[in-house]
Amino acid sequence: MENQKRIKVKALLGLKSFSDEILVKGWVRTKRESKNAVFIAMNDGSTVHNIQVVVNPELFREQLLKRVTTGASIAVTGLWVASLGSGQTKELQAKTLKVLGDANPDSYPLQPKRHSLEFLREMAHLRPRTNTMAAILRVRHTAAFAIHQFFNDKGFFYFNSPLLTTSDAEGAGETFKVTTLNLEKIPLDELGKVDYRKDFFEKETNLTVSGQLEGELAALALSEIYTFGPTFRAENSNTKRHLAEFWMVEPEMAFYDLKDSMDLAEEMLKYLVQYTIDHCLDDLTFLEKREIEEQKNMPVAERSEQSLLDRLQFVLASNFKRISYTEAFQILRNSKPNKKRKFQFLVDNWGVDLQSEHERFLVEKHFKKPVIIYDYPKDIKSFYMRLNDDNKTVGAMDVLFPRIGEIIGGSQREERLDLLTKRMKEKRIPSVEMDWFLDTRRFGTVEHSGFGLGFERMILFLTGMSNIRDVIPFPRTPGNCEY
């Protein structure tokens, strides 16, 4: 067995015929015993599919077969032969069987049955071994790969923005502080304030909320770049769509106006969907079935009208609806749920921020397709967005998706130095600290735009999962930072 080359389950299932003896390693999903044979469903994570191993109990010690339990790791050699049973066309007829690692059934937490997602969240260290989580992780990998493929093919450069920074790109004050100061004995300055000069970086430092500002520096040199990395936000929102640590994809393009940027966003989203269908159909089919099962226990009103794959196809086939904030505002103000006071946040005055209930109404009920809203009131958007000629709105755009709401946020950037510094003053952003950023506007400034895709929100859409905690290996949310 030792000198044989192991073959992965995915490769094995793709083989039409194979006459030599093979070696497969993986974990036991289930074991079923009949009079003349023991059937083991085995999985190695390379695919959602298991292979069936057939063991003749007369050829193996009973003691060994007893150790073949759910979760145990095994190595099997044998012949890949036509299966007599239904459910699989081929099976592995075991010649040798070795238990690599036992999984005591009295203490192994995962049983061969459906566990609730809540239970699995408490068990995040073992949940990659479930079909659902493994499928999600494969989709996640594929989508990440597709992002690099998409941008590389277009000549964009992958740019690494820092995670440790002294700036707050969104200016929302939701940063996690980074310090090596002794929190039991914080040094104070002459004014009695924390003396950050004594801290590691000799400055107040935090984890980044976005790589955008550094991305802009690169775009104004390389023309088209994208970042793809973790971002951190200490917003205290315990929702199904928010994480304190999430991954963001942030392309930044010189010489793009807002419309160019919307075109790119729509093209990228469709590419990601198509790529995932092309490369993960087995996993998507599994996740679609999972969702159908789950929805059986849900009230009819909460069930999704379309199946997962239909929703993905639907996005591919639709032209995203593009409307201005003002148009969206009018539709929402005159909408039934607003008039009947069904919205939690009523839409009454121009300038109100749109909530996820409003976004989902526009996407799911009104237009029934993805929507891009642009030209938002300047007061509800970040300082770096380009002021429109009306002096009231900025060149912002949000892409809204069914079941998700906002999946992308972006804008054309304010490239005019005087207007940018004026906005920073209004928003009380100290320009001394941001001098490096302003240099891009001082020297060779150009029209440019960019956006940020919330990677986990994309994975939510691709997998049909409804809670963002289930599409990242180790979710960080208020009160949760295990592992």
DSSP string, 35-77: SS-EEEEEE-SSSS--EEEEE-GGGS-HHHHHT--TT-EEEEE
Q: Using CB distances below 5 to 8 A depending on partner kind, what does residue 327 bind out of ligand 4AD, Mg ion, none?
A: none
Distance CA 211, CA 164 (A): 10
Q: How far is the CB of 469 from ligand 4AD (least distance, A)?
A: 11
212 binds ligand 4AD (CB under 6 A): yes
| Segment contacting ligand 4AD by CB under 6 A, of 317-325, 355-363, 403-411, 439-447 | 403-411
Distance CA 52, CA 122 (A): 30
Q: Using CB distances below 5 to 8 A depending on partner kind, what does residue 246 bind out of ligand 4AD, Mg ion, none?
A: ligand 4AD
Q: Using CB distances below 5 to 8 A depending on partner kind, what does residue 78 bind out of ligand 4AD, Mg ion, none?
A: none
Q: Using CB distances below 5 to 8 A depending on partner kind, what does residue 454 bind out of Mg ion, ligand 4AD, none?
A: ligand 4AD
Residues in contact with Mg ion by the rule CB under 5 A = 409
407 binds ligand 4AD (CB under 6 A): yes
Query: Tell me, what DSSP letter sits at residue 233?
Result: -
Q: Which is nearer to Mg ion, 27 or 451 (CB)?
A: 451
Residues 286, 131 contacting (CB under 8 angstroms): yes
The tokens describing 226, both together, are: 């994208």
Binding to ligand 4AD in span 245-264, by CB under 6 A: 246, 248, 250
Q: How far is the CB of 98 from ligand 4AD (least distance, A)?
A: 44
Q: How far is the CB of 224 from ligand 4AD (least distance, A)?
A: 13
464 binds ligand 4AD (CB under 6 A): no
Residues 437-456: x where in contact with ligand 4AD by CB under 6 A, - otherwise, as a string? -------------xxx-x-x
Sheet holding 371-377, edge to edge: 157-158, 224-232, 245-254, 448-454, 405-412, 393-401, 371-377, 321-324
- End-to-end CA distance of the chain: give it in Å, rounded: 36
Residues 92, 78 contacting (CB under 8 angstroms): yes
Q: Using CB distances below 5 to 8 A depending on partner kind, what does residue 461 bind out of Mg ion, ligand 4AD, none?
A: none
Residues 177, 205 contacting (CB under 8 angstroms): yes
The two beta strands, 73-82 and 38-43, are: unpaired
Neighbours of 230 (CB within 10 A): 16
Residues 170-209: x where in contact with ligand 4AD by CB under 6 A, - otherwise, as a string? x---------------------------------------
DSSP string, 66-125: HT--TT-EEEEEEEEEE-SSSS-SEEEEEEEEEEEE---TTT-S--SSPPPHHHHHTTTT
Q: How far is the CB of 176 from ligand 4AD (least distance, A)?
A: 12
Distance CA 177, CA 164 (A): 10
The tokens describing 344, both together, are: 């939690």
Q: How far is the CB of 374 from Mg ion (least distance, A)?
A: 13
210 binds ligand 4AD (CB under 6 A): yes
H helix intervals, 239-376: 258-279, 281-295, 308-317, 325-333, 336-339, 356-360
Residue 365: is it exposed, middle or buried by C-beta count within 10 angstroms (0-12/13-18/19+)? exposed
Distance CA 231, CA 104 (A): 39
| Segment contacting ligand 4AD by CB under 6 A, of 404-412, 424-432, 459-467, 475-483 | 404-412
Residues 50-69: x where in contact with ligand 4AD by CB under 6 A, - otherwise, as a string? --------------------
Q: How far is the CB of 155 from ligand 4AD (least distance, A)?
A: 19
Q: How far is the CB of 399 from ligand 4AD (least distance, A)?
A: 8
410 binds ligand 4AD (CB under 6 A): yes
Chain residues that interact with ligand 4AD, rule: CB under 6 A: 169-170, 210, 212, 233, 235, 242-243, 246, 248, 250, 406-411, 450-452, 454, 456-457
